[in-house]
Chains A and B, each alone.
Chain A
Amino acid sequence: MIALGRMVSGLALWAAAFVVLYSLHGLGCALGWAQVEMFGITRAKAILLGSWIVLIAAQLVLLVWLLRRRETQLDRIGIAIGWIGLAATIVTGVPILAISSCV
Chain B
Amino acid sequence: MKALRLHRDLTRIWESEPGWRGVFSSVSHTDLGKRFIVAAAVFFGIGGVLAMLIRAQLATPGSAFAGPEVYGQIFTMHGSIMMFLFAIPMLEGLAIYLLPKILGSRDLAYPRLTALGWWCYLFGGTIMILALLGGVAPDAGWFLYPPLSGKEYTPGVNSDVWLLGITFVEISAMCAAIEIVVTILKFRAANMSLTKMPIMAWYLLATAGMMVFGFPPLILGSILLEVERAFGWPFFQPELGGSPLLWQHLFWLFGHPEVYIIFLPAAGALSTIIPVMSRTPLIGYGAIVTAVMALAFLSFGLWVHHMFTTGIPHLALGFFSAASVLVAIPTAVQIFAWIGTIWAGRPKFTLPMYYIVGFFVVFVLGGLTGVMLAIVPFDQQAHDTAFVTAHLHYVLVGGFVFPMLAAAYYWMPHATGRTRVMRLGIAAFWLIFIGFNLTFLHMHLTGLLGMPRRVYTYPVEAGWTWLNLISSVGSFLQAFGFGLFAIDIALQRRIGNRSERDPWEAETLEWAMPIPPPQYNFASLPTIDSREPLTRDRALGADLAGGRGLLGRAVGNRRETLAVDMVTGTPEHVAILPGPSLVPLVTAMVIGGFFLSMLLSLYWLAPVFIVGTAIMVWRWAATTGTIRDPGPIEAGEGLVLPTSFAVGGSTAYWGSVLAAAANGTLFASLIFGYLFLRVVAPNWPPPGEYGLYLLEPGLITIGAILALVFARFGRHNFVRAKVGAVATALCLALSAAVLLVSGLRHLPGPTEHAFAAVSWMLTGYAIFSAMVGALIQLFASRRVASGHASAERPHGLRIAAVWSDYGAVVAIVVVWLLALSSAAL
Contact = CB atoms under 8 A, between A and B. Distances in A.
B326 interface: yes
Interface string A13-40: 0110010011101110110000000000
A9 to B, nearest CB: 11
Interface string B668-680: 0000000110011
Given A1-B566, A8-B297, A88-B298, A18 B323 contact: yes
Given A74-B194, A94-B322, A84 B680 contact: no
A8 B11 CA distance: 41
Nearest to B657: A1
Name the residue among B293, B296, B654 with the largest chain A CB count within 10 angstroms: B293
Interface stretch (B308-316, B513-521, B596-604): B308-316
Interface string A44-88: 000010000000000000000000000011101100110010001
A8 B293 contact: yes
B638 interface: no
A92 B294 contact: no
B111 to A, nearest CB: 23
A95 B315 contact: yes
Interface residues of B, number: 32
Given A18-B301, A25-B315, A92 B290 contact: no
A41 interface: no
Contacts of A101: 313, 315
A84 B294 contact: yes
Given A73-B195, A76-B286, A26 B326 contact: no
B286 A88 contact: no
Given A81-B294, A100-B315, A103-B313, A4 B195 contact: no
A49 B742 CA distance: 41
Contact of B290 (A21, A23, A29, A84): A84
B322 A95 contact: yes
Contacts of B318: 94-96, 98-99
Given A1-B566, A18-B319, A95-B322, A26 B680 contact: yes
Contacts, number: 99
A99 B376 CA distance: 13
Contacts of B290: 77, 80-81, 84
B728 interface: no
A21 B326 CA distance: 17
Interface in B140-155: none
Contacts of A96: 315, 318
A85 to B, nearest CB: 8
Contacts of B645: none
Contacts of A102: 313, 315
B293 A81 contact: yes
Contacts of B325: 91
Contacts of B294: 11, 81, 84
Main secondary structure of the interface of B (DSSP, over half): helix
A92 B326 contact: yes
Interface centre among B289, B290, B296, B326, by most chain A C-beta atoms within 10 angstroms, is B290
Nearest to A96: B315
B563 to A, nearest CB: 15
Given A3-B567, A92-B322, A77 B289 contact: yes
A17 B194 CA distance: 28
A94 B566 CA distance: 38
B479 to A, nearest CB: 41
Interface in B300-337: 300-301, 313-316, 318-319, 321-323, 325-326
B300 A15 contact: yes
Nearest to B300: A15
B194 A11 contact: no
A22 to B, nearest CB: 6
Given A91-B322, A95-B319, A73 B301 contact: no
A30 B321 CA distance: 22
Contact of B297 (A11, A30, A72, A98): A11
Contacts of A91: 322, 325-326
A74 B567 CA distance: 9
Contacts of B296: 11
Contacts of A27: 679
Given A15-B297, A26-B316, A74-B195, A3 B566 contact: yes
Contacts of B195: 72-74, 77
Contacts of B301: 14-15, 18, 92
Contacts of B675: 23
Contacts of B321: 95
B293 A77 contact: yes
A88 to B, nearest CB: 6
B450 to A, nearest CB: 27
Contacts of B680: 26, 30
A27 B314 CA distance: 15
A72 B662 CA distance: 30
Contacts of B322: 91-95
Contacts of A4: 185, 194, 566-567
B3 to A, nearest CB: 36
A21 B319 contact: yes
A3 B566 CA distance: 9
Nearest to A95: B318
Nearest to B287: A80
Nearest to B213: A15
B314 A103 contact: yes
Interface in B313-369: 313-316, 318-319, 321-323, 325-326
Contacts of A99: 314-315, 318
B313 A88 contact: no
Nearest to A18: B301
Nearest to B316: A25
Nearest to A80: B290
A73 B566 contact: no
A10 B535 CA distance: 35
A34 B84 CA distance: 42
A88 B316 contact: no
Interface in B268-311: 286-287, 289-290, 293-294, 296-298, 300-301
B537 to A, nearest CB: 22
A84 B322 CA distance: 14
Nearest to B195: A73
B384 to A, nearest CB: 22
B566 A26 contact: no
A10 to B, nearest CB: 9
A26 B325 CA distance: 22
Contacts of A77: 195, 286, 289-290, 293
Contact of A11 (B286, B298, B654): B298
Contacts of A7: 293
A94 B315 CA distance: 10
Identify the interface centre among B185, B286, B301, B326: most chain A CB within 10 Å of its CB: B301
A15 B443 CA distance: 35
A25 B314 CA distance: 11
Contacts of B567: 3-4, 74
A103 to B, nearest CB: 6
A29 B319 contact: no
Closest 6 CB pairs of A and B: A95-B318, A11-B297, A73-B195, A30-B679, A92-B322, A99-B315
8 contacts: A3-B566, A11-B293, A23-B675, A74-B195, A80-B287, A81-B290, A88-B323, A91-B325
Interface of A: 1, 3-4, 7-8, 11-12, 14-15, 18, 21-23, 25-27, 29-30, 48, 72-74, 76-77, 80-81, 84, 88, 91-96, 98-103
Given A8-B297, A81-B294, A92-B326, 11 more contacts: A1-B654, A7-B293, A11-B297, A14-B297, A22-B319, A30-B680, A73-B286, A77-B289, A80-B287, A84-B294, A91-B322
